[in-house]
Amino acid sequence: MSTHTQNAADWHGTTILAVQKNGKTVIAGDGQVSIGPTVVKGNALKVRKLGSTGHVITGFAGATADAMALFERLESKLEQYPTQLARACVELAKDWRTDRYMRRLEAMLIVANSESVLILTGAGDVLEPEHGIAAIGSGGNFAQSAARALFQYEEDAEVIARKAMEIAAEICVYTNRNLTVEILQKD
């Protein structure tokens, strides 16, 4: 058995970026999962559509099983509050903070619809970042910085997200170029 212990702090390899501009909402996520210095998987899917109509997109950073549990809970909140994304997220954050089982979940989410982008944490945070740009994960600061720099020069949210993720992959060793991208277009 290895002397290297595998805990949540050893799991890296996620960059999730949301960009909202000109009626388009994009969440992009890389596919790398690492344990310590080892790349375990290069094509993980960390971004997906939620809700029966697919009107919400989300991406996660952190433990995969924990994120899947959060996705399930978020979907049930979206069923309760189908047109109120912020309310569904606040209700999930309350449960996450107060439920004994959920408090142990180690993940973060970016959740978006065509109107807003939100970051959810286990600390009970539901944050709506400025400028319609949010990022989480090990390369999140790189991707967010790149997206902010590109935002005033590029009109298409998808182009901004893809270019910013490319820059993050060049800088962060826990981020690769194998992207999953989900898009919502405002009607």
Q: What residues are labeled active site? A: 14
Contact 173, 137 (CB under 8 A): no
* Structure-token pair, residue 81: 């509050």
Burial class of residue 7 in the structure, from the number of CB atoms within 10 Å of its CB (0-12 exposed, 13-18 middle, 19+ buried): exposed
Q: How many whole angstroms separate alpha carbon 41 and alpha carbon 103?
A: 27
* Structure-token pair, residue 162: 């893809």
Which amino acid is it at 123? A
Report the first-to-last Cα separation within the chain, whole angstroms: 55
